Amino acid sequence: MLPWHNNSFNQLISKKKIFPQSLLIYGPQGIGKVDFAQTLIQALLCATPLSDHQPCGKCQSCYWLMQKQHPDLITLSIENNNTQDGEEKPLEDKNKEKKTHYINIDAVRELGSFLTVGAQRQGYKIVFIEQADALNINAANALLKALEEPPTNILFILVANDIKKILPTILSRCQKLRLNQPNAQDAFNYLDIPQHQADYLLSVYGTPLSLKRAIDQGAEELRKPYLTLLNKNQVQLLELSALAQKIPLEYWLDWTHKWSVDLIAHHFTQQKWFHKDTEFSAKPMNDYILFDLLHWEHQLKNAKRYQFHPLVAKLFIEDLLIPWLPINRYLY
Ligand SMILES: [Zn+2]
């Protein structure tokens, strides 16, 4: 669990005996909500928790959880989400993933027998729903039934990025806990990089967890070389495309889109919003080139919808880089 969630954790777990029967943990993506929920579940199920309520990591229950086979826990989640672990999967697996972007009713029906059989141990049985905002309507209605009259030892723990996507009837049955972004100091301590660097990197990646993932995957070290090339005088499509293809697609598209936004922001406000560490000396833009730039920004933003399954990555990238070339010619 991440250090900036300690207070929320302590407040909840100190009331372990009167724990809310349905708890919804929500907040922005990439701040560690699932880690938080998993630690909470382990602490609730642990047979011999430590004096600060943290799970012991040694008892049978903790062992079962580490093996992901605790008999008193059932987890509903979207499986095979390859954006979570960053692993490349074979194409046929990727195609399967498209069908599982929501939690369907069959998954919720499996809860039936779990809810009616007593706990293996004296204590709670927990239903953990990792992406409560991914329940489709039938699944949400089935869940609602379960939430209405649960046996007293059952706890529901739900996690969501966007509570607007959850049925109001489910929301009203849950106690809600909002987890927040870490403050700047916590984020710097966690990332273990100098404050000025963390400052501008966070403006590119948004949250400390996303930033850490980009650093761990080796993507961040390609960002500056890529932006430098993008802004090279008379850059050629071939060299630009060759470097772009070495960058994980989601980063490449996000950086490029943010770059287009930076140019627009700079035109109107003399400030960049995202790649604040990138120097450039461009000419002031006339209306025609500004129009081209706005159009390119729009194309990049739309392309984000297709980024996880382009037919041919090279074509996808080059298609989006071509509109940049005349802008580049004009600016430099
Ligand atoms: Zn334990």
Q: What is the pLDDT of residue 267?
A: 93
Q: What is the pLDDT of residue 97?
A: 42
What is the mean predicted confidence (pLDDT) over 43-62?
A: 92
Which SS3 state, helix, strand or coil, does residue 223 take? helix
What is the mean predicted confidence (pLDDT) over 187-196?
A: 79
Highest mean pLDDT among 54-63, 108-117, 144-153, 182-191: 54-63
310 — pLDDT class (breaks 50, 70, 90): low
Euclidean distance between CA atoms 240 and 321, whole angstroms: 8
Q: What angle do CA 231, 234, 239 make, to 5 degrees?
A: 75
Euclidean distance between CA atoms 329 and 231, whole angstroms: 10
CA of 33 to the centre of ligand 1 (A): 21
Q: What is the pLDDT of residue 94?
A: 42
CA of 59 to the centre of ligand 1 (A): 4
CA of 109 to the centre of ligand 1 (A): 29
CA of 177 to the centre of ligand 1 (A): 24
Contact 59, 47 (CB under 8 A): yes
What is the mean predicted confidence (pLDDT) over 192-199?
A: 79
Higher pLDDT, 3 or 133: 133
CA of 17 to the centre of ligand 1 (A): 17
CA of 46 to the centre of ligand 1 (A): 4
CA of 208 to the centre of ligand 1 (A): 29
What is the mean predicted confidence (pLDDT) over 298-320?
A: 86
Fold of the domain built from segment(s) 3-180: Rossmann fold (3.40.50)
What is the mean predicted confidence (pLDDT) over 261-277?
A: 93
- Nearest CA to 328 out of 277, 269, 256 is that of 256
In tens, the pLDDT along 78-94 reads 763 333 333 344 444 44
Euclidean distance between CA atoms 265 and 288, whole angstroms: 16
Q: What is the pLDDT of residue 32?
A: 87
Q: What is the pLDDT of residue 107?
A: 77
What is the mean predicted confidence (pLDDT) over 215-225?
A: 94
Lookup result for tokens 């984000």: 304
Domain extents in the chain: 3-180, 217-331
Which SS3 state, helix, strand or coil, does residue 192 take? coil
CA of 332 to the centre of ligand 1 (A): 62
CA of 65 to the centre of ligand 1 (A): 9
* Percent of the residues in the chain that have a pLDDT greater than 90, as a whole number: 51
CA of 51 to the centre of ligand 1 (A): 12
Q: Residue 160 — left, alpha, or beta (φ > 0 → left; ψ -120 to 50 → alpha)?
A: beta
Q: What is the pLDDT of residue 308?
A: 67
Least confident among 103-112, 201-210, 234-243, 311-320? 103-112
Q: What is the pLDDT of residue 209?
A: 81
CA of 58 to the centre of ligand 1 (A): 5
CA of 76 to the centre of ligand 1 (A): 23
Residue 186 has pLDDT above 60, yes or no: yes
* pTM (global) more than 0.85: no
What is the mean predicted confidence (pLDDT) over 190-206?
A: 83
For ion ligand 1, residues whose CB falls within 5 Å: 46, 55-56, 59, 62
CA of 42 to the centre of ligand 1 (A): 7
Strands 125-129 and 175-178: unpaired
Q: DSSP character for 285?
A: P
Residue 12 has pLDDT above 60, yes or no: yes
- Nearest CA to 135 out of 170, 172, 174 is that of 170
Residue 223 has pLDDT above 80, yes or no: yes
Q: What is the pLDDT of residue 108?
A: 80
